[in-house]
């Protein structure tokens, strides 16, 4: 009971914090301190206008297509490699240094090279999404496999289960929670990847729109797009989290791997 009211109190505080921030934003905007801070009401008007404009919808479509092309295969491949790494020591030894290298380097720095190799177009965007998402799925899946209780594997073996059976019935279920966590993180990173890659090109997608609006000093519209991108990120991650809870109602939080260079 007391917890309920505490929760409600916190929700109320969050709403108050939000409203206070918006009022402050409006006031700062009205003071015309800087062209970078238009009043919130103007941004809101821009939201209404921009979010339904053909230009925006076209950009959104471009970004979504890139994610739709690159993310699923990246996840599938990542899970497969992750399972192998988690299960077979030799695969782990062989791939660990490579995976770790990619996890501990600032991936954005590779973007100029990717653009050199794949050109100033969709190919580079897709490549950016893949390097941003693949390795994170791999490590989380591999870590998930490692959570398998070896005694359960032995037990399954003792009942005559073959490798395929062990993989399907024992290892995969144990690995699922962290695999899902990896997919959730990858989803957020895919959005970061597509945006930064498009920003570098500066022409297509939401990232391109951000660059063009910035260049044109169309600040209200710029804020409208930034708001959308942030909310879109929130909603997608939340969607994966909900799917996660639906699919795995038994899971309790496990420590997921999130490296420092978490995308742009």
Partner 1 sequence: MIEIREIGRQFNTRDGGTFEALKDVSFSVKDKEFFSIIGPSGCGKTTLLKMVAGLVRPTSGQIVIDGSPVSGPGNDRAMVFQHFVLLPWADILTNVGFGLEMRGLSRRESREAARPFLDRVGLTGFAEHYPHELSGGMQQRVGLARALAVSPDILLMDEPFGALDAQTRQLMQEDLMRIWDVEQKTVIFVTHSMDEAAYLSDRVLVMDTHPGKVREVLDVPLPRPRDEAVRTTPVFNELTSHMWHELRGMIGDPTAPAPE
Partner 2 sequence: MVTDQAAGATDVELTLAARGGSSSRWTPWLFRIGSVGLVLLIWELYGRAQDTTLFFVPFTSVVTALWELVQTTEFWDAFRQTFIPFIWGWLLSLVVGIFLGLLIGRFPAFDALTKPYVTFLNALPISTLVPIAVILFGIGYPSRILIVFLFGVIEVTLNTAAGVRYVNRDLVEMGESFNGTQWRLFRKVILPASVPGIMAGVRIGTGRAVVGMVVVEILLVAVGMGRLILRYRGRFQSAELYAVVLALILFGILLQVLARRIELRASRWKSEMEQVA
> Binders of partner 2 among 41-60, rule CB under 8 A?
none
CB 26 within 8 A of CB 13: no
Q: Is 16 near partner 2 (CB under 8 A)?
A: yes
CA distance 63 to 208: 10
CB of 251 to partner 1, least distance (A): 17
Tokens of 162: 């073959």
Instruction: Confirm or reject binding of residue 219 to partner 2 (CB under 8 A).
Output: yes
User: Out of 72, 121, 123, 215, which residue is the one contacting partner 2 (CB under 8 A)?
Assistant: 215
Contact between 149 and partner 2 (CB under 8 A)? no
DSSP SS3 for 243: helix
User: Which residues would be at the binding site for partner 1 (CB under 8 A)?
Assistant: 1-4
Tokens of 11: 């929700």
Provide, rounded to whole angstroms, the least separation between the CB of residue 34 and partner 1: 45
Q: How far is CA 229 from CA 37, 94, 156, 158, 258, in A?
A: 18, 38, 47, 52, 21
In this structure, the number of other CB atoms found within 10 A of the CB of residue 73 comes to 14
User: Which of partner 1, partner 2, none sits in contact with 242, Cβ below 5 to 8 A by type?
Assistant: none
Contacts of 192 (CB under 8 A, 6+ apart): 132, 233, 262, 263, 264
Q: How far is the CB of 5 from partner 1 (least distance, A)?
A: 11
How far from chain centre, in Å, is Cα 189? 3
| Of residues 8 and 168, the one with the C-beta less far from partner 1 | 8
x-marked contacts with partner 2 along 162-191 as a string, rule CB under 8 A: -x------------------------x--x
CB of 136 to partner 2, least distance (A): 13
Q: How far is the CB of 79 from partner 1 (least distance, A)?
A: 34
Element (H, E) at 205: helix 205-215
Q: Choose, by CB under 8 A, the member of 9, 61, 169, 245 that binds partner 2.
A: 9
The CA distance from 211 to 230, in Å, is 16
């Amino acid at each position: 009971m007391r917890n309920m009211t505490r929760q409600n109190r916190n929700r109320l505080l969050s709403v108050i914090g939000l409203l206070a921030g918006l009022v402050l934003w409006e006031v700062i905007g009205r003071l015309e301190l800087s062209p970078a801070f238009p009043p919130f009401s103007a941004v809101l008007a821009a939201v209404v206008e921009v979010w339904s404009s053909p230009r925006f919808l076209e950009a959104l479509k471009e970004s979504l297509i890139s994610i739709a092309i690159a993310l699923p295969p990246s996840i599938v491949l990542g899970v497969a490699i992750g399972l192998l790494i988690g299960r077979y020591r030799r695969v782990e030894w062989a791939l660990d240094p490579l995976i770790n290298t990619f996890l501990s380097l600032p991936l954005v720095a590779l973007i100029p090279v990717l653009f050199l190799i794949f050109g100033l177009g969709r190919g580079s965007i897709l490549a950016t999404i893949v390097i941003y998402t693949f390795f994170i799925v791999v490590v989380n899946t591999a870590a998930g496999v490692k959570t398998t209780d070896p005694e359960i594997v032995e037990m399954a073996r003792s009942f005559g289960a073959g490798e395929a059976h062990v993989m399907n019935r024992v290892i995969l279920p144990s690995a699922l929670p962290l695999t899902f966590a990896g997919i959730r993180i990858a989803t957020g990173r895919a959005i970061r990847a597509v945006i930064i890659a498009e920003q570098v090109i500066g022409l297509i997608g939401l990232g391109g729109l951000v660059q063009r609006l910035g260049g044109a000093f169309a600040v209200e519209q710029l804020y409208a797009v930034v708001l959308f991108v942030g909310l879109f990120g929130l909603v997608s991650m939340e969607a994966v989290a909900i799917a996660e809870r639906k699919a795995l109602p038994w899971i309790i939080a496990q420590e997921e791997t999130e490296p420092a260079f978490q995308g742009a």
